[in-house]
Structure 1
Amino acid sequence: MKRNNNTMIYTFLLSCLITATSCNRDSFTPSQGDDIKKSGDVTIVMTNTNRAYDLTKKYVDFSTKFNMSPNTITLNPAQKFQTMDGFGAAITGSTCYNLMKMSKEDRTKFLTETFSDKDGMGMSYIRIAIGCSDFSLSEYTCWDKEGKENFGLQSEETQYVIPVLKEILAINPNVKIMGSPWTPPKWMKVNNLTDLKPFDSWTSGQLNPKYYQDYGWYFVQWLQAMKKEGINIYSITVQNEPLNRKNSASMYMSWQEQQAFIKQSLGPQLKAASIATKIYAFDHNYNYDNMADQEDYPIKIYNDAGAASFIAGAAYHNYGGDKAELIDIHNQRPDKELVFTETSIGEWNDGRNLNKRLMEDMREVALGTVNNWSKGVIVWNLMLDTDKGPNREGGCQTCYGAVDISKSNYKSITRNSHYYIVGHLSSVVKSGATRIGATGYTAEGLVYSAFQNTDGTYAMVLLNESNDNRKITLADGKNHFSYEVPANSVVSYRWKN
């Protein structure tokens, strides 16, 4: 009798174990089996703050069980928001210098991991300077001496930027490129619009209205010169940080000036040249640098129908103010686009501390701007060296790159938060995707955004900012699956409809 009891107990325990294992397999809790799974219905990419998961790819299958989970997020493809253009980083002169210091083999490997849709993260939107930026190797524009015969691409572009762009486009021909000027040629600048005295400085100054037509011609020539190099420019902004007079390369441009320049020169000249490149206004902070007369900068430009007809939308940075400004601008002009074009990490915000920055940057920059109608997210320098350079006097001396490369060997790379946040978006959300509705489970520290790609696949990018693992079920009305999301992590999903 004792033996029978033992047999019954053993059978009962075995049954429980089998049931538990079956339930566990159905919910796809991370396990050794998941680690070796090479394919599945759902592709998952994970990163957590301690890098135990570091853009780690996993695969799971749809559940065959009836979904009873209270932690279910259900996608609603019928609820459509903005169409996505892409995600990426700035390819500055400094970034290109560092990339060109790498061996060809190492550079190709890094660029493939970063930009390839098939073999990498598939980053899809980059920003370059029209002329120099504060992360260029020198101060210059493409027209430093008056006279149209003196226009031309400069050595930084021909030796560094253009070769890198060509390598990127060879890896991913669909990458979109945005161009932004930090300053016009100095001979176009004046001290102010009253005195109109020449202003021979890369920093500050204003655009002399008598040179509006020349400056519009400059944009056209630059766009055409890049096209001759095989590089199509998808979009431009009129002036990087138009309210910032203090950058090493900069110019002040009020909304009134930008409106006049776009309406009288830039818009008509691009149209006359049959250039379809998008024009974005503003390209500066959410709080308009606390200048009361410059608040709602793009809205004031749009109020002139002639100027507005040439403008696709507005671009924003996050060095002041709150991302809620994007919602306000969208609500005022839902017909105009929004794109987020710059954010930095550095010594001032503990930029190499992934434990802090991954959570905050994912919440505020990546998902925060996308959930507030931004069509794209572009961070600042893709790559700086471990000495935060090359940098110039008057520019940022304390910035880090999305990745930092060892200055000692130009081989060892450390990935910082900005690489992860754009990588997690671009790995599953492709150009042309539509942000869609998602409702259901909510919790403190949980932020997510859902999409449908043009090939019909669904994508979800989710932030779990809590200190606890959370088993979350995703459902699309046809299929569902569950996964235990690690504490303090970012998880991206993509699956077929």
Structure 2
Amino acid sequence: MRSFQSHSLSFKRVFLSLLIGGGVLIPSAYAAKKGSVQVLETSNTRSVDLRRSELKLNNGYDNNSLQINLNPAVRYQEMDGFGAAVTGSSCFNLMKMSKSNRMKFLKETFDPHKGLGYSYIRIAIGCSDFSMSEYTCCDTKGIENFALQSEELDYIIPILKEILKINPDIKILGSPWTPPRWMKVNNLGEKQPFDSWTSGHLNPDYYEDYGTYFVKWINAFEKEGIKITAVTPQNEPLNRKNSASLFMGWDEQRDFVKKGLGPKLREAGLNTKIYVFDHNYNYDKMEDQQSYPLKIYQDSEADQYITGAAYHDYGGNRLELNKIHNARPDRELLFTETSIGTWNRGQDLGVRLIGDMENVGLGTVNNWCKGVIVWNLMLDSDRGPWRELGCKTCYGAVDIDRADFKTITRNSHYYIIGHLSAFVKPGAVRIDGNNQSAEGIIYAAFENTDGTYALVLLNKNEKDTKVTVTVDNNSFVHTVLAQSVVSYKWRK
């Protein structure tokens, strides 16, 4: 397997960095004590950076503040978790760190008790556009030739094992960017071989073999002690241009699910969930692909195998989530990818923290998503390692300095996931509340399985805003800093 290529451009850091082992450490999440409210705050200026504090429950009532009244009797979706993609590039960078620094970062990120408690991971089935090379786990024709490759064995699996020691309950979603090239054809009419990593269609003659490929991949990881929670049949099935890609229209995905993937998973006795689609809200503006998941659900043979649908936000509006939920409320929704980069001022926390929390963190949850996963957990200070035809302009949730593989810059995606995962635990149920988008305040509220409440709130205003939060005849008052995100957790 050839080594990474890395971009040589450097960029100016526009905000503070974290020096692992010598600087500001992420505060621990901790259990809510009765009579107190635990608080976690971050401002877009980083004047407050994951600051932990404590309020007294029933510390007063302010009629002149914004009133937030929660109603736990009105309940919405159960949450699965929040996290980031652990790509080949992310693992390469993590492995370049000293073991002690890497473990410190992973504990701060994934520890459900003393850290931020990230609880969901996305990984590629084979290569992605942030892998060491283009490859699948069966590049020699014949499904009997399936085998994990260097990227899994030397990078992905070792990092996942370290994470699982920290958080054994982590959920993992697998997504392929491409099937083996020998399974590809130019189109379903001519069915001519299509020996390319980019684009092409899955040959229907190989639906069963490709379903077996998924089973072998899941079993290979489980033999390493790594349980795969869910899969999607194809990453970005309407994107032909990615460095590794496959076009899979809704009718093709329907047929693969009902003739290959679903039956093979069931035959193997696997309860791995299947989330269809895994692409943009606007279906890349393709008229015949609109409402992609709903069209698949209409086929009862395919529908029996499907848990729900997954979405990205590179096009369209998050209200599409609400539309899909309303049409099939018995099917789940996941948000599985978004990226920051040079195109959206991804390293400018002053710009990105507020928008990303509104649109990605809270906007997806308040439109029925059970989980929220951002793209690369960690890239380096040259936005890599990346491959030709891959993204050269992406930032990670955190970026690590290539000069020392020690100094870390936390970007907006790290904060928005952390503010959710720290206090909103898997199994929590989203609950109702008033004034969810009043006076520049946006929030989502939850009841955890241990009986605690959690509230994640965004203040878009350019001034501090006082809020009074009330539930179960208990209340607390807090002044939320301007342009900030704050998470609360308290016991009944």
Fold-level similarity (TM above 0.5): yes
Q: Deviations over 1:103-162 (max 9, x none)?
A: 000000000000001111000001000000000011111111112331111010000000
Distance 1:50 1:65 in 2: 29
1:7 corresponding residue in structure 2: none
Task: Name which of 73, 79, 96 aligns with 1:78.
Answer: 73
2:180 corresponding residue in structure 1: 185
For 1:68-107, list aligned pairs within 5 A.
68-107=63-102
Q: Deviations over 1:410-467 (max 9, x none)?
A: 0000000000010000011000100000114853321101000011100000000100
Distance 1:183 1:265 in 2: 16
| Unmatched segments (≥5 aa) in structure 2 | 1-31
How many residue pairs align between the two structures? 460
1:218 corresponding residue in structure 2: 213
Task: Name which of 191, 195, 198 aligns with 1:200.
Answer: 195
Q: Deviations over 1:7-42 (max 9, x none)?
A: xxxxxxxxxxxxxxxxxxxxxxxxxxxxxxx97711
Distance 1:85 1:180 in 2: 17
Residue 478 (structure 1) shift: 2.8
- The reply to whether residue 456 of structure 1 matches residue 456 of structure 2 is no
Q: Secondary structure at the match of 2:438?
A: coil
Task: Name which of 419, 423, 432 aligns with 1:428.
Answer: 423
2:7 corresponding residue in structure 1: none
2:334 corresponding residue in structure 1: 339
Distance 1:79 1:480 in 2: 18
Matched AA of 1:299: L
- Native 8 Å contact 2:37 2:56 kept in 1: yes
| Unmatched segments (≥5 aa) in structure 1 | 1-37
Q: Secondary structure at the match of 2:399?
A: strand
Residue 390 (structure 1) shift: 0.4
- Native 8 Å contact 2:61 2:476 kept in 1: no
- Native 8 Å contact 2:61 2:477 kept in 1: no
1:253 corresponding residue in structure 2: 248
Task: Name which of 273, 277, 291 aligns with 1:278.
Answer: 273
Q: Normalising by structure 2, what TM-score?
A: 0.92
- Native 8 Å contact 2:91 2:155 kept in 1: yes
1:233 corresponding residue in structure 2: 228
1:6 corresponding residue in structure 2: none
For 1:282-301, list aligned pairs within 5 A.
282-301=277-296
Distance 1:326 1:444 in 2: 24
1:61 corresponding residue in structure 2: 56
Q: Tell me the percent identity.
A: 62
Residue 68 (structure 1) shift: 4.0
1:375 corresponding residue in structure 2: 370
Task: Name which of 467, 472, 481 aligns with 2:467.
Answer: 472
- Native 8 Å contact 2:61 2:468 kept in 1: no
- RMSD, aligned CA: 1.2
Name the structure with the higher helix share: 1
Q: Deviations over 1:65-109 (max 9, x none)?
A: 466455221111110100000000000000000000000000000
Task: Name which of 166, 171, 175 aligns with 2:166.
Answer: 171
Task: Name which of 315, 321, 326 aligns with 1:320.
Answer: 315
Shifted more, 411-420 versus 194-203: the winner is 194-203
Distance 1:133 1:159 in 2: 16
Matched AA of 1:124: S
Residue 195 (structure 1) shift: 1.2
Q: Secondary structure at the match of 2:352?
A: helix
- Native 8 Å contact 1:71 1:441 kept in 2: no
- The reply to whether residue 115 of structure 1 matches residue 110 of structure 2 is yes
Distance 1:121 1:186, change over 3 A: same
Q: Deviations over 1:261-299 (max 9, x none)?
A: 101111111111110010000000000000000000000
Shifted more, 477-486 versus 250-259: the winner is 477-486
- The reply to whether residue 132 of structure 1 matches residue 127 of structure 2 is yes
Q: Secondary structure at the match of 1:54?
A: coil
1:413 corresponding residue in structure 2: 408
- Native 8 Å contact 2:436 2:442 kept in 1: no
- Native 8 Å contact 2:436 2:443 kept in 1: no
Shifted more, 298-307 versus 471-480: the winner is 471-480
Q: Secondary structure at the match of 2:90?
A: helix
Matched AA of 1:436: I
Distance 1:107 1:246 in 2: 34
Distance 1:65 1:196 in 2: 71
1:490 corresponding residue in structure 2: 485
